[in-house]
Structure 1
Amino acid sequence: MWGYYVALALRSSGRSKALTALVIVLLAFGVSACMVSYAVFRATTSDPLPAKSSRLYVPQVDNFGPSHTWQNEPPYTLSYTDAMVLWQAHKASRQTLLYPAIWQMESDDGSTPAMSLGGDAVTADFFAMFDVPFRFGSGWAANDDEQRATVVVISRRLNDKLFGGQNSVGKAIRLDGHVFRIAGVLEDWNPKPRFFDLGTFFNKAFDDAGDIYIPFTRGIAMQKDSTTYNGCPTESGVYDTSRWDARLTSECAWIDAWVELATPAEVARYREFLNNYAGQQQRLGRFSWGPNVRLRNLMDWMAYMEITPRASSLSMLISASFLLIVLVNVVGLMLAQFMRRTPEIGIRRALGASRSAIYRQFLIEGATMGFVGGLVGVALTLLGLWGAGGLFEPKIARLVHVDASLIALTVLLAVVATVVSALYPTWRAAQTQPAWQIKINS
């Protein structure tokens, strides 16, 4: 029976080629515009660590005070004082501190040209917390943090450049005049967005991950400054941040912190710990305001930081509006196409066809046009994604990819949209009175 209705739909569409083609083309353009925008939106809002995102949390402590915060939200990052207290308290199964920096790499024999390398100063738990894959070796141990060890983990990209892709664990490189021993080489790892140092790197969330990772404590010992965000609660000049000891004792917030909490009970306990710590600082006179803390998991943190490019959100709104306009026009075209066939409908009703049979016939006809429109829409979507670089920044455009789910969703959206558009024209067609049509055509 379904095959009969599909064959009937194809024959009927063949008798109204112009209207059918117009419906298919309109649908294809409307659906493809939506899917191109959706593909970009999906790429910029996807979970960068789906296996663990619900267990990774960002602690925030308000050390600025109500007169220096926005909507009473604590700073994105922590001061050195607060960061060290949270890290040394060991109230989570894993915790890490980090901040981005740039190192100058030189070689002793001059065989490798000097270069600037970006990366992060991190604590030992960083690699396990974020499931960072290793090609050779591993991260460093917790006692390396305590000893401010001169060890380094490098990216595969840098290892290929320096050592031809060979196992370089145990070899040395010179960073800012200090010799570092390579503890590990990462496998390809370049999460998008760059979520792990989002608090300091929020305006560069889709930049590539760095090539250098050294112990956080070694970075502090080298007086290595953060290359990005450095928020202070008062007017500039109050803290002489050019002096490193003043930077470490100031209220300037510049360190990202993460904790891993596996259960709701652990989350509740850690939140209580944050509140108790902030309350203690108030009693000590450091804070003149009540505890103001936050503990957001990875996806909530990304949403709070609003890292999705405005162009992506705006294009979603525009393309959805365009699709709505397309569907209004499709309703009119299908109404014209279906009502031209009232004599056929009248005869079918007179021969015993029920209204439900008419509904099935025309809705299947609409779904068939939607399916064809979806296939054309897939081609237009591929073309649109190929040209996405003209609408979005290259670092955003290159994140967009086509997969089976996107193709299936394009076709499904076209079919559903057409069936919904066909509801009113089908209802009108099903109201045809067989006796009236027979009398007119007799």
Structure 2
Amino acid sequence: MTRYYFWLAARNLKNSPWLSGLMVLAIALGIGAFMTSYAIFHAMSGDPIPHKSHQLFSVRLDNWDPEDAYSEPNEPPTQMTYRDARYLAEAGKARYQTAMFRVGMAVQPGNPDIKPLLSHGRMTYSDFFAMFEPPFLYGMPWTRAEDGARSTVVVLSRAMNERVFGGENSVGRQLRMDDGEYTVVGVLDTFDPLPRYYDLINTDPFGDGDDFYLPFTLNDTLKKRPNGNNSCYIDPPEDSYQGYLDSECVWVALWVQLDSEAERRDYQTFIDNYVMEQKRHGRFPRPLNNRLDDVMDWLDNQGVVDEDTRIQVGLSFAFLLVCLLNTVGLMLARFLRRAGEVSVRRALGASRRQIFQQYLTESAVLGIAGALVGLVFAALGLAVVRGLAPHIAAVTHLDPSLGLFALTVSVCAALLAGIYPTWRACRIAPAAQLKTQ
């Protein structure tokens, strides 16, 4: 019977192509607008590392101005001082922990045909790779022992390896960066978590990743300043690099992996005790205000999904509702115009339930057609967004799961839109209609 209803629906749609096309277009416009906004929202608000997002924590200490919070309401700085980050990263109180900051360096390929490249990378600890799990194409990360030995080693991104070594296995080869020689110990495969949750402060959350990774401890000799956000509420104690390291300027991020609630409580106690100890040395003048934010809390705290994006999703959903209301009116006119057909079927023995099922099937067919056309509109809409806002190009795409979601939304919307017109059609009195035939 269901197959017969689909055949009837296709025949009825074909018999009135203009009205059918208008209903499909109304649904498609609503679905296209909604899916364009929702696809961007979905990518921005998604969990970038779902299997362990509740185990990774951004650590924040409140060393800011005693008279003025870093940001309202009473938020501690998004990064921390070099000396605090260095101490906590090397204290070993979590399963994994890493401090990190971004730097810029000139890469000088051994091939004279390739010009020097200005690249951006990350100084971090070996635990970075265990925590955030970037896949390796060649080699492996350096070790904790190499952290302690300040080894001149480097891990390259796949893109940088292709530019400098032509994509070959470069493990063991030397790479000159600025004035130093570094041994390649690993090459990452594609590593592109979106948003780039482990550094929302110094990089575009949806932009390009790092070109290379160096041991944090090498900065003892390199003396690099951050290529990114640097905030100070008070001037460094002296005008020197060491004075900068000893200052209250915040420019280093710290992440830890805590696998259980007990570990999280223990680590909170550890950083609170550390700050209380530092208070005895005249630091941290503000009330105790240390934070451990897991990945999703951190994304929310940093407003990765801004208010404009949420408003756009709401407006597009409202537009979809307007389109559905128009579809309801068109369906009502269409179904009531076929009152004679309904009366004949009822007189021949069809029940109201069968009429209801037939007309809902027709609504579902309209929904499927509207979804398919709507996906085309959504793809065009996302292409326009890519042109107007290239910085979020990475999230302007439709994947199969979103396509299935659009189909489900469209069919459900069409069924909802068809309920009232279908109910009205089922209430037609066959006798009254047949007398007028």
TM-score by length of 1: 0.91
Q: Report SS of the residue matched to 2:226.
A: coil
Matched letter for residue 82 of structure 2: Y
Instruction: List per-residue Cα deviations over 1:162-193 (Å, max 9, x = no partner).
Output: 22222222222222212222222222223332
Asked whether 1:250 is paired with 2:252, we answer no
User: Over aligned residues, Cα RMSD in angstroms?
Assistant: 2.3
Choose which of 383, 406, 410 in structure 2 pairs with 1:414: 410
Note the 1:226-245 alignment, pairs <5 A.
Answer: 226-234=226-234, 238-239=235-236, 243-245=240-242
Instruction: List per-residue Cα deviations over 1:188-242 (Å, max 9, x = no partner).
Output: 22333222222333xx2222112121111112431101111111234xxx33685
Aligned-pair distance for 1:430? 2.2
Alpha-carbon distance between aligned partners in 2 of 1:207 and 1:8, rounded to the nearest angstrom: 51
Asked whether 1:300 is paired with 2:294, we answer no
Which residue matches 2:428?
432
| Contact kept in structure 1, 2:69 and 2:76, CA below 8 Å | no
Which residue matches 1:14?
14
Alpha-carbon distance between aligned partners in 1 of 2:45 and 2:90, rounded to the nearest angstrom: 33
Which residue matches 1:190?
192
Alpha-carbon distance between aligned partners in 2 of 1:242 and 1:10, rounded to the nearest angstrom: 80
Which residue matches 1:277?
274
| Contact kept in structure 2, 1:148 and 1:215, CA below 8 Å | yes
Which residue matches 1:80?
82
Which residue matches 1:333?
330
Alpha-carbon distance between aligned partners in 1 of 2:387 and 2:238, rounded to the nearest angstrom: 41
Alpha-carbon distance between aligned partners in 2 of 1:148 and 1:226, rounded to the nearest angstrom: 19
Instruction: List per-residue Cα deviations over 1:294-324 (Å, max 9, x = no partner).
Output: 1111122112211236664443233222211
Q: Report SS of the residue matched to 2:428.
A: coil
Aligned-pair distance for 1:284? 4.4
TM-score by length of 2: 0.92
| Contact kept in structure 2, 1:134 and 1:187, CA below 8 Å | yes
Aligned-pair distance for 1:360? 1.4
Q: Report SS of the residue matched to 1:78.
A: coil
Q: Report SS of the residue matched to 1:254.
A: coil
Which residue matches 2:171?
169
Note the 1:205-216 alignment, pairs <5 A.
Answer: 205-216=205-216
Note the 1:284-433 alignment, pairs <5 A.
Answer: 284-308=281-305, 312-391=309-388, 393-433=389-429
Aligned residues: 435
Aligned-pair distance for 1:159? 2.0
Aligned-pair distance for 1:352? 4.0
| Contact kept in structure 1, 2:24 and 2:367, CA below 8 Å | yes
| Contact kept in structure 2, 1:377 and 1:411, CA below 8 Å | no
Deviates more, 1:104-113 or 1:206-215: 104-113
Alpha-carbon distance between aligned partners in 1 of 2:186 and 2:405, rounded to the nearest angstrom: 41
Q: Report SS of the residue matched to 1:196.
A: coil
Deviates more, 1:128-137 or 1:284-293: 284-293
Alpha-carbon distance between aligned partners in 1 of 2:109 and 2:350, rounded to the nearest angstrom: 86
Mark the CA change 1:18 to 1:220 in structure 2 (over 3 Å): closer, same or farther: same
Alpha-carbon distance between aligned partners in 2 of 1:352 and 1:32, rounded to the nearest angstrom: 41
| Contact kept in structure 1, 2:236 and 2:246, CA below 8 Å | no
